[in-house]
Every structure is written in structure tokens, then in C-alpha cells.
Chain A
Amino acid sequence: MGTHVIKMPDIGEGIAEVELSVWHVKVGDMVVEDQVLADVMTDKAMVDIPSPVHGKVISLGGVPGEVMAVGSILISIEVEGAGNYKESAQPAAVAVSAAPVAAPKVEAVAASKPVAASRPAAVCQGPMVAREADERPLASPAVRKHALDLGIQLRLVRGTGPAGRVLHEDLDAYLAEGQSNASAPIAAYAQRNDEEQIPVIGMRRKIAQRMQDSTQRAAHFSYVEEIDVTAVEELRAHLNEKHGASRGKLTLLPFLVRALVVALRDFPQINARYDDEAQVITRLGAVHVGVATQSDIGLMVPVVRHAEARSLWDSAQEISRLATAARNGKASRDELSGSTITLTSLGALGGIVSTPVLNLPEVAIVGVNKIVERPMVVKGQIVIRKMMNLSSSFDHRVVDGMDAAQFIQAIRGLLEQPATLFVE
């Protein structure tokens, strides 16, 4: 038997520290090759760390939320054979005699699955028999003791083991259920003194850092303009009717992306990154549009690369693919970084005005508010038009108010005369 040590890998270029997010294994677990051991996070990308070996976990190098140096020991696994790690005091002779004589095979499938939050339905070979109200719950001595420690009454716990036996996992499930139900039965006007502390780790810590950084460093100013989207909405409806089945449905976002691309041709100072330490502004030819997306673990900004080279449907598909990937935690680091300008939209919850926070080092972010039908005066007549506000923020350190206003007016012109979006 030897020890195989896995060190915190260098995931992104030049990153010295990586945050450990989640362990998928615990000490004593048997793991198989390619089984995911842990999730770690750099920037905004979650990266799986798979096991390169079969073996048994003997120690974990950190706790979730811990920021670990690249190269530090992440996990140690006991493996057959010599492993990759030798304790200095180990005599050489041991390694020679360590020829494994029919060492027990790791049970590849059964033992290795980490216990997920949702347990698979229990497999009970015999008939399940419901427990009578006064019947003593079936549980091993260790489970009984643990239940006492947790203050759980075993008779309230559903047993999923053979013959309805209450397992350790059932206690965990009961506990998890109890926590999610805890707030429900409290009387409407009862005073509450409970508090819950949630460690700011992982994704939330990254978001917090970046938002704070952005508001402290950039000189935000917001600019709101009202846009008549009746024409572009008509066009969108028409295109969806005509091509929806074959090319996929279009939302308003690809039109906005297109409007950004076209407008930015005249406003290169807005498609830029400002490195305030080096005091350099980099104007970029490519338009990489970050699309702010809500996921379960928080705000993510997947990036539609080279929007200038994409058709409406191309953009639409890319936005949809990235949003799904981000929500499922599958977006890669590349897909989550490198934007030059950001679009943020809360859809139907868009409100009438918002004050978006810049995604530094970008200098502009365009926020989309909701579309409402309103009576408007057009050529002396009151008509019903579809109206939408754009609430945008700029870094006033490098973007002048006049430029910003003209940029938004350009977008407005493009969206109100949608044909101009496509006229070269």
C-alpha cells in the first residue's frame, strides 16, 4: 500500500490561489479513477478535480471555503502499490516487499458514489411494511445513539433500509427536511429570535469581492433612456413566425447584442477595458458581450464571443447555450471571462429603472428594463406603443457623459428603426 497525493492544480494561467468549494468525498471513502473528488473555484469558474487513481481517501487538505495555494496538498489517497508519495522515514525495503498479493479489489460502483442530496429510492427486496404507531422503530445502536445526539425522535423518521430500518442517511434526510420546513408552521405574528449564519464562501465571496471592487474603484454614472420597441418587436414576432420552427425562437437579447455591435463601431471608447493600475485603456475590435445570468449559486456572466461576427440566430443560440451551461455549473472558465461589455436583463422583472454595477475592467454595462404598452403621442395622435427603458452605467473616469448619451441614442435609433441593424 502506498499513498497517492493530489496537489491543488494550476487551473488558470498565473493563479496562485484556488478556493476549495465542495468535497464530494470524505475520509474513508473508496474512490475510483475519474471520480470527482472536489470542486474548486477560480475567478468565476467551478472546476472538478477528478481522481487519477483507485483507492481510499486517507486525508483531506482543506475545508470548503478555504483558499489554498496552488501546489498545496489537496487530498491523500491510499492506493495499491507504491503511490507517488513517500514519507521520508520509510525504509526502502518496504517498497520492495509490497507486492500486492491478491489485494481486495476496490468495489468500483457500489462503494464510490458520493451521497447526493437527493437519495435514490431505497431498494427493498422484501415487502415494505408500514410501522404501527406504537411500534418500536428499527435502527442499529449507532443510529439510535446518533438520533439522541441530534435530538431526533426515531419514530418520526422514515426508514428506508431493509424491513423499514432507519439508516444514518434517513436521519440526514429527516434533518434536511426539518430545516426546510422549519419556517412554515410559525404562527403569523409570533416573535422570532432565530438567526442563521451563512458563511460567505465560494461563488458568493467572489461576487461580493467583485461588486465591492467595482463600486469602490469605478466612478459609476447611470443613464436611462426610453425606447420604442414596437417595430423591433414586430420584426421579432415576424421572424419567429417565419423561421421559429427551423432556426429557433428569438428573444430580444440577440437584437440588443446586434445593436451594441453596430453602435460600438462609432464608439470604440465604450468597448474597452480600463486598467487603472497601469493607467491604460485598451480599446477592442472584438465585441465579447457578457450576458448576466442568474444561477442557483449566484450571478454569473457567460460571454458571447465575437458578437460582431454572429447572425441573430447564431447569437440567440449562443446566449441560450451559455445560460444553460452557467445555470448547470458547467460553464468553463473561458466561457465566463473575457467580455468587453455586459448586457444585464431581469426580463419580466426588469422594472422601470436600474443602476447596473460595472463588470470591471469594462467601462459600460447596459441594463434592460421591462417592456410595457403605453399611450404615446406619435405625429399628433395618441397611439399604443411598446416601450422599454435601457438603464446603463458607465465608468465616468474614462467615458464622458456626452459619449455615453450619444451611444445610447445610437442604440435607440437602431432599435426603433430595426432595418438599420442590418444595413451595412
Chain B
Amino acid sequence: MQNLNTTLLIIGGGPGGYVTAIRAGQLGISTILVEGESLGGTCLNIGCIPSKALIHVAEQFHQTQHHSQHSALGISVSAPTLDISKSVEWKDGIVDRLTTGVSALLKKHKIQVVQGWAKVIDGKTVEVGDTRIQCEHLVLATGSKSVNLPMLPIGGPIISSTEALAPKSVPKRLIVVGGGYIGLELGIAYRKLGAEVSVVEAQDRILPAYDAELTHPVHEALKHLGVKLYLKHSVQGFDSASNTLQVLDPNGDILNLETDQVLVAVGRKPNTQGWNLEALNLAMNGSAIKIDNRCQTSMRNVYAIGDLSGEPMLAHRAMAQGEMVAELISGKTREFNPTAIAAVCFTDPELVVVGKTPIEAEAAGLDCIVSSFPFAANGRAMTLESKTGFVRVVARRDNHLIVGWQAVGVGVSELSTAFGQSLEMGARLEDIAGTIHAHPTLGEAVQEAALRALGHALHL
């Protein structure tokens, strides 16, 4: 058996793990990173990046199709056709470039990458195949896995998001189980690629994590696109002989929905199985590893970051945690203390939530002003053929400190930057209202929302 020694050992090469490694390398910490599959983790390989690529393909196809029928813009093209294998090839090219880039960055920072599946022996020892690695600090960054439903085992026509991101063909009919952001992003993309899409959601509305006002434009868009919604319906099982999904409707009756594929997108759970995590006997927080505000687990010098440490399961959270952990290990005093972590749904229209929503602010006992500005009154939105959606701000009534931003509309994912900065810098309504926002941009709606909260919106 080969023996390796290092200061820092990271299990998992996703956004959390590889960022930890890069920062550790910058700080001169000798580091080994263990990855069983491909560098970049879920995010780069089967998550954020490939889904955005597929969404882009779907949108382009959809737009072209739109122009081929009745384009108000005066464009006429013939009806498009889709070679989905080429689309997937294009997507794979992007993934490839990014994962190769991560590999190059790790090499540049002198990180030793050990390929293989890690098996934890104790808090300072990990085995990978017949290599035994001894470390002083152990960072667990094994990410998350899709939640499976016992009555819908993945296989054949029943797929998870991983398979949905590498389609061999576009099914005629697709049922998405789960009306959360993953299900809707993919459901909308498949609809735009030509599939008949239905969404089954157990709760009474889509994107149940967000309030109804915010999700309403997405709901309207789904109706407009012809996505069928089965709200308050729960899945009972799948009959592979007749290719029908059995769902229970709110009245207690069973519906049989015929389909070609079923996409199970009911959430993700921390990846705690299969690498002998039990050996550490760490304190847990539900299904996630319990961490403090320094990402320290219940065992000294063992850290957990990213999805493994629970919600919110977002790549940018994992990266920030990883950067902090590397600095902690280098001897700096650090804690993970963001004011807000932006959440973005790449549905159509897009949806952004940063900081507290009105409901959360109220629950926190804050007396708040809530004000929104519609994109219907924004010139740039009109030129993008987009009139739905709005920007909403939540600010304390007493000192006008902004505690939250939400937006829904075409392209609003990019507003998350401005929202995050305003919250982290502790901006007040007057600060945003007093910042000149370029015209014509969607960002003007941000300034106008703040102005409206102060009682003097200019364009409304």
C-alpha cells in the first residue's frame, strides 16, 4: 500500500472542494484532492452548467420556431429542426472546457489530485484504492445526490436530471415529478424543444419555496407555453406496460397519465453514503453533516462544506465556504457570515431571491416596506419582448435598510449581483435610489423599486 502525507485532504472535486484546494494552494498549504469521477462535481458535469446549456439550446430553438410562425419582429425563417445529439455534443464541449480548466487551475496551484473513490478510515486517514493518505485537516465536500422516489426507481423511461441533461432524443411526452426549480427549468426546456410536458407537484403551487406573487409570472408563462400543471397531485406509481404514471388527485381519485418519460426532480440530499462517513460518527443535522459557522464538524480538524452540510445547496455557497476553510486552516481567523446568498431559478421568466422575502421579514419581526416595480414600465424589458415580472425590494421601515430583493423576469439572474452587493454593503433605500442606473437597462427597475418604496417612483 502506498502512503501519502499532506496537510490538507479534500474529499470531492466539486465547486466546494476544488475552490478549497485552489485557495489552500495560494496559501501554501500542501493539499491533496480526491475525486472519484470528473472534476467540477455535479455543478459542472450534471448540474448548473449543462442545464444552462440545454436551456439556451431550447430557447434558441423556441425563438426560431416562434419567428417561423408569427414574428412581430418581421423576421421570417422556415421551421427549425433539431439535431439533439449535436446539441448535447455542444453542451459536452462546454463541460469539457470547464473541467479541463479546473484541472489546470489545480495543477497551477500545485494541488495533487488523486483519482478514485475515498474511503474514510478516521479523521486523519483516508484510503483511495490501495493508497493511504494521512492528513492534518480533512475537508468533506462530497456534495449531494438526487432524491429518489421508491415507487419510481430510475431506469428506462424513468430518468433523473442527469439523464435529462444528456438526451438521445426529445420524448414526445414528458411528465416532470416535482415543481421545484430543477423540475421547472428542465420541464420548460423540454417543452421548448417540442415535448408535451406536464408537471406533477404535491403542493398547491409551483416553486413552493417562494411566495405566490413572485411565482405568478412563472405560472402564467407555463400556461402560455402549454405546460400542464397537476398541482396537489401526488405520484402513486408507474406502469411500464402501459407507460402510464398513476397520480392521486386532490379528490382522492387516481389518474392515469400516459407518457414516454418521467423525470423525477423532487430535490437533492447530502451525499453521506458509500464512503464510510460512519467511521467518523459526526453529529448530524437531519440528513446533512452538522457544522458551525466555521464549517467545523463535531470532530476537530474535520470540516464539511457545500451540499453535504445542508441547505441552501448552492455552488456559490460551497465555493465561499471552501475559500473560508482554506484560510482557517492557514491560521487566519474566519467565519462564514454572509448577509445573503442569492438563489436563482433559470426558469422562463427567471427568478431571483436574495435576502429576506416579505414573509421572512415579517416572521423575523421586522416592520418592513415592500415595494415592487413592474417590467411592464421598463423600456429595456419591452425591447426584449418581455413585459412580465417585476423587481421587489424589502426594507426596514425605521431606517430604510434593505433586507431583501426579489425579481422575476427575463434575464433577471444577472441582477443577483447588484442585489447581493446592496445587501452585503448594508445599503439603504436612499443609496439605491440615489445611484444612477444606466438607461435603458433592466436595472432601472431596481432603482425604481427603491424610489417607489420611498414614495416617489418616476416612471409609474
Residues of A within 8 A of B (CB): 125-129, 136, 138-141, 144-145, 148-149, 151, 161-165
Contacts and interface: CB of A to CB of B under 8 A. Distances in A.
B335 A148 contact: yes
Contacts of B337: 144
Interface of B: 332-335, 337-339, 396, 398-401, 424-426, 428, 430-431
A164 B398 CA distance: 12
A342 B411 CA distance: 81
Given A129-B396, A141-B338, A164-B399, 18 more contacts: A126-B399, A129-B398, A129-B399, A136-B339, A139-B426, A140-B425, A140-B426, A141-B424, A145-B334, A148-B334, A149-B333, A161-B426, A162-B426, A162-B430, A163-B401, A163-B426, A163-B428, A165-B426
B428 A126 contact: yes
Q: Which 5 A-B pairs have the closest CB atoms?
A: A163-B399, A163-B401, A138-B426, A165-B426, A148-B333
A140 B425 CA distance: 4
A164 B399 CA distance: 9
A94 B167 CA distance: 59
B428 A162 contact: yes
A81 B206 CA distance: 62
A289 B398 CA distance: 64
B317 to A, nearest CB: 15
Nearest to B364: A135
Nearest to B429: A126
Nearest to A161: B426
A162 B400 CA distance: 10
A151 B401 CA distance: 27
A125 B430 contact: yes
8 contacts: A125-B430, A126-B399, A129-B398, A138-B426, A140-B424, A148-B332, A148-B334, A161-B426
Q: Which residue among A126, A127, A149, A151 has the maximum number of chain B CB atoms within 10 Å of its CB?
A: A126
A151 B339 CA distance: 20
A128 B400 CA distance: 11
Contacts of B339: 136
A163 B335 CA distance: 23
A149 B398 CA distance: 32
Contacts of B428: 126, 162-163
A138 B401 contact: yes
Nearest to B332: A149
A246 B354 CA distance: 73
A149 to B, nearest CB: 6
Contacts of B426: 138-140, 161-163, 165
Contacts of B332: 148-149
Contacts of A144: 337
Contacts of A163: 396, 399-401, 426, 428
Contacts of B334: 145, 148
Contact of A127 (B333, B338, B399, B430): B399
A145 B335 CA distance: 8
Contact of A151 (B333, B338, B399): B333
A163 B424 CA distance: 13
A6 B335 CA distance: 44
Nearest to B335: A148
Nearest to A145: B334
A148 B428 CA distance: 25
Contacts of A165: 426
A118 B245 CA distance: 73
Q: Which residue among B400, B426, B431 has the maximum number of chain A CB atoms within 10 Å of its CB?
A: B426
Nearest to B334: A148
Contacts of A140: 424-426
Q: Which residue among B335, B396, B425 has the maximum number of chain A CB atoms within 10 Å of its CB?
A: B425
A304 B425 CA distance: 57
A151 B335 CA distance: 12
A126 B400 contact: yes
Contacts of A127: 398-399
A389 to B, nearest CB: 59
Nearest to B398: A129
Contacts of B338: 141
Nearest to A150: B333
Contacts of A126: 399-400, 428, 430
Q: Which residue among A136, A141, A164 has the maximum number of chain B CB atoms within 10 Å of its CB?
A: A141
Contacts of A136: 339
A114 B412 CA distance: 41
Nearest to A151: B333
A203 to B, nearest CB: 37
Contacts of A139: 426
Contacts of A128: 399
Contacts of B400: 126, 163
B423 to A, nearest CB: 10
A184 to B, nearest CB: 26
Contacts of A151: 333
A141 B333 CA distance: 14
B144 to A, nearest CB: 26
Contact of A162 (B333, B424, B431): B431
Nearest to A141: B424
B453 to A, nearest CB: 13
B346 to A, nearest CB: 26
Contacts of A164: 399
Nearest to B401: A163
A326 to B, nearest CB: 45
A154 B332 CA distance: 17
A145 B424 CA distance: 12
A98 to B, nearest CB: 29
A145 B332 CA distance: 10
B182 to A, nearest CB: 29
Contacts of B396: 129, 163
Nearest to A139: B426
A162 B337 CA distance: 20
Contacts of A129: 396, 398-399
Contacts of B431: 162
A148 B431 CA distance: 27
B407 to A, nearest CB: 22
Nearest to A164: B399
A55 to B, nearest CB: 27
Nearest to B400: A126
